[in-house]
Amino acid sequence: MKRASLGRFMVLGFFLTYMLLPLLATVAFSFSVRWDRTILPEGLTLDWWQAVVERRAFLLTLRNSLFISVGAMFFSVLLVTPTAYWAHLRVPQAKPLIELLTVLPFGIPGVVLALALLRSYARLGAAIVYSPWMLIAACMVLALPFMYRPVANALAALNVRALTEAAQMLGASWVTTLTRVIAPNILSGVLGGALLVFSTVFVEFTLANLLVGARFKTFPIYIVEFTRFDARQASALAAISFVVAWLTSLAIIWVAGSASRGRESLGPR
């Protein structure tokens, strides 16, 4: 038993170090005067952060990335939620087809999706195929599995038919039923899916680089550019990206946690 717990301690220690060291090193590096000769940084400074934040391109690329990720999140919710609800309630025969389309993206590498979209739609003109809207749609494809699964799971855990019939019997329209009755009950699934879409798209480099590139520079493209010529400022940018990713992930965990607590408080069903 002693040996087993020593082994467990070492495995978890290794895991925590592996997962945290690169992140902590990057954050510490962004505050260091110089840290390439000595074991500890030669003093602390905010210079790199200031230099990064003062650049016009910083706010511009951050805004572009927010536009793409919020856009992809918004349209994913709008496209997937009603579809999942309607298929669940009225057209269960359509479910395998929907599931196929939502699993397919797992098998399409980003570079292949970019190539396929360019080869299919280049003749529509650069204004369409290289536009931010095309990037949003492509990111939605990539994030489709992350949006559909939580919503479908939330619907499966709910007696949708009884709720819908009760609402309709009381005179609610379809829109009212969906927004006032169903939506609040599957909110945690929708929210969890939406946040996953946001965090996936916010760091998406491949599609952004190959579809829009310099025409609509996103934050990850900006980071990669910086890593080529200024490591310190790049580390500040990477730290921002880590913070966004961590905050979104914590929000996802919190949403999932509060959903299961909510279910527990209802007791066994």
Partner 1 sequence: MSERRHAPAWLNKLSVWGALLPFFAFGIIMEVIPIITIVSASLTDPGHGLSLVNYQRSMAPLILQSFANSLRLSAVTALLGVVLGTLVSLAIVSSRNKLLREAATALADVATNFGGAPLAFAFIITLGSTGVLTLTLKEFFGISLYPAFRVYSVSGLVLAYLYFQMPLMALLIQPSLLGLKAEWREAALNLGASTFGYWRHVALPILTPALLGGFLLLFANSFGAYATAWTLTGPDINLVTIQIAALIRGEVQLEPGIADAMATASLGIMALCVAGYQWASSRAARWRL
Tokens of 196: 């996953």
Q: CB 248 → partner 1: shortest distance, Å?
A: 8
Q: Residue 190 or 196: which CB sits closer to partner 1?
A: 196
Name the one range near partner 1 by CB under 8 A: 9-17, 46-54, 58-66, 154-162.
9-17
- 117 vs 186, which CB is nearer to partner 1? 117
DSSP 211: I
**Residues in the chain, how many?**
269
Local structure of residue 209 (DSSP, 8 states): I
- Scan residues 131-170 and list those touching partner 1 (CB under 8 A): 137-138, 140-141
By CB under 8 A, which span of 47-55, 125-133, 181-189, 233-241 interacts with partner 1? 233-241
b or e along 29-59 (b: 16 or more beta carbons within 10 Å of the residue's beta carbon)? bbbbeebeeeeeeeeeeeebbeebeeeeebe
**Least distance to partner 1, CB of residue 242, Å:** 6
2-10: list long-range contacts, CB under 8 Å, 24+ apart.
Answer: none
CA 191 to chain centre: 11
Options 47, 184, 246, 263; binder of partner 1; rule CB under 8 A: 246
**Which CB atom, from 131 or from 206, has the smaller least distance to partner 1?**
206
| Positions in 20-79 near partner 1 (CB under 8 A) | 20-23, 25-26, 28-29, 35-39, 79
Nearest residue (CB) to partner 1, 33 versus 97: 97
Complex with partner 1: residue 18 or 264, whichever CB lies closer? 18
- Closest CB to partner 1 among residues 55, 119: 119
Concatenated DSSP letters of 70-91: HHHHHHHHHHHHHHHHHHHHT-
Three-state DSSP class for residue 229 = coil
Residues 170-229 that bind partner 1 (CB under 8 A): 196, 199-200, 203-206, 209-210, 220, 223-224, 227
User: What does the alpha-carbon distance between residue 246 and residue 98 come to, in Å, rounded to a whole number?
Assistant: 31
Provide CB contacts within 8 A for 3, sequence distance 6+: none
Chain-centroid distance, C-alpha 96:
25
Among 6, 12, 156, 166, binds partner 1 (CB under 8 A): 12
Using CB under 8 A as the binding rule, the residues of this chain from 95 to 124 that contact partner 1 are: 97-98, 101, 103-121
